[in-house]
Chains A and B, each alone.
Chain A
Amino acid sequence: DTEVTQTPKHLVMGMTNKKSLKCEQHMGHRAMYWYKQKAKKPPELMFVYSYEKLSINESVPSRFSPECPNSSLLNLHLHALQPEDSALYLCASRTDRGLDEQFFGPGTRLTVL
């Protein structure tokens, strides 16, 4: 299984809602990533987890809260988002055994009203 899955595919939420994005991989990868991608822009790194510990936070606002409950699962909890947070949220994973690429999921299209 060389796939990263993300749910939901689409999400619409109000600014007062609390929601979560989910990412899962079963490739045994120990590094997992959250990216945010605005239209016509490259992905921007948000968070990196290594061995289930947060290793990189790219100065992301606290209304985004990542969680890595186990080595296969990565969540992104959303609360009090702004309309400018509307974007495609991509998850990726990567092996820790030497050089390799990041495997990306299909993304969650988030719209904040």
Chain B
Amino acid sequence: AQSVTQPDIHITVSEGASLELRCNYSYGATPYLFWYVQSPGQGLQLLLKYFSGDTLVQGIKGFEAEFKRSQSSFNLRKPSVHWSDAAEYFCAVDISNFGNEKLTFGTGTRLTIIP
């Protein structure tokens, strides 16, 4: 069965430090991968997506992610975090079901930023 794993439940980073959030997927075919961010009580906002092509993907708010097929990973990175980056981050894989695309989400990583 398809699955997405985010090994880190909670990460604390100092403002200005670099960030890497891990995501591993289990899926037989070419995965379509997403990173979403959610602030408390809000909806999900897309940070970036990977469908094919260049394995290093640039997103909004200075985030990037690298698709590594050999490691079944799609880790999210940011060189310097800001206090406003504190939020919940979800990795997701798009699974096509007879044309009705379904997102399978990881369990999420909560990011805390300290001054």
Contact = CB atoms under 8 A, between A and B. Distances in A.
Given A43-B44, A90-B43, A56 B105 contact: no
Interface string A78-113: 000000000010101010000101111111010000
B65 to A, nearest CB: 13
A29 to B, nearest CB: 12
B92 to A, nearest CB: 8
Contacts of B63: none
Q: Nearest 8 pairs between A and B by C-beta? A: A42-B105, A104-B43, A104-B44, A106-B43, A55-B100, A101-B46, A99-B51, A48-B100
B56 interface: no
Interface of A: 4, 6, 31, 40-43, 45, 48, 50, 55-56, 88, 90, 92, 94, 99, 101-107, 109
B42 A43 contact: no
Is chain B's binding surface mostly helix, strand, loop or mixed? Answer: strand
A104 B108 CA distance: 17
Interface of B: 32, 34, 36, 41-46, 49, 51, 90, 94, 97-103, 105-108, 110
Contacts, number: 53
B34 A43 contact: no
B101 A94 contact: yes
A48 B102 contact: yes
B26 to A, nearest CB: 16
A88 B46 contact: no
B100 A50 contact: yes
B114 to A, nearest CB: 20
Given A90-B43, A107-B43, 7 more contacts: A4-B43, A42-B106, A43-B105, A45-B102, A56-B97, A56-B100, A101-B46
